[in-house]
Amino acid sequence: MKLVILDRDGVINHDSAQFIKSPEEWRPITGSLEAIARLSQGGYRVVVATNQSGIGRGLFDMDTLNAIHGKMIREAALAGGRIDAIFFCPHAADSTCECRKPRPGMLREIAGRYNAALKGVPAIGDSLRDLQAAAAVDAQPILVLTGKGRMTHEQQGLPPGTQVYADLAAAAAHLAA
């Protein structure tokens, strides 16, 4: 089984400093839905792993998060892609939970659900915490320069072996080649 793990905000959809709090605010990054289709059609199981501290902060509730994710799943399907699962951490940024990236709990949960070792599995994100979580489970950290990606790329201390692509479409083209 081929598996790929995607962060959501800044990778699949445009991010917002005020959080994505409704389906109306969720807007795909150009080419990201087609990239998901390319990965799906290339035999990958596409799994989303996303921190959603807006729940813990009381900015939106589970029904709203489900509606946002429903929209994302439908739009990916309309582009010919499939999102196999969505894992999320609902806790606020100051939480000591194990599921909030950069901690690897969410990725370990994915490994358990799919009964898969994550060594070398592509894990695509736009922030250092996405890359750190990937490195913690021996997944392949991949940085995209959308969202916070450009700022992340300028930082010191990216995990060794991090691959860098302009966006999810470029990363998918490389993976599904």
9 is known as an active-site residue: yes
Full 3-state SS string of the chain: CEEEEECCECCCECCCCCCCCCHHHCCECCCHHHHHHHHHHCCEEEEEEEECHHHHCCCCCHHHHHHHHHHHHHHHHHCCCCCCEEEEECCCCCCCCCCCCCCCHHHHHHHHHHCCCCCCCEEEECCHHHHHHHHHCCCEEEEECCCCHHHHHHCCCCCCCCEEECCHHHHHHHHCC
pLDDT of residue 108: 98
Compute the average pLDDT of residues 134-156.
97
30-89 pLDDT, tens per residue?
999 999 999 999 999 999 999 999 999 999 999 999 999 999 999 999 999 999 999 999
Higher pLDDT, 155 or 135: 135
7 is known as an active-site residue: yes
Q: Which CATH class is domain 2-170?
A: alpha beta
pLDDT of residue 160: 96
156 pLDDT tier (thresholds 50, 70, 90): confident
Spell out the domain ranges in the chain. Answer: 2-170
Average pLDDT, the chain: 97
Q: Which of 7, 126, 130, 167 is catalytic?
A: 7
pLDDT(177) > 90: no
85-131 pLDDT, tens per residue?
999 999 998 999 999 999 999 999 999 999 999 999 999 999 999 99
Question: Is the pTM higher than 0.85?
Answer: yes
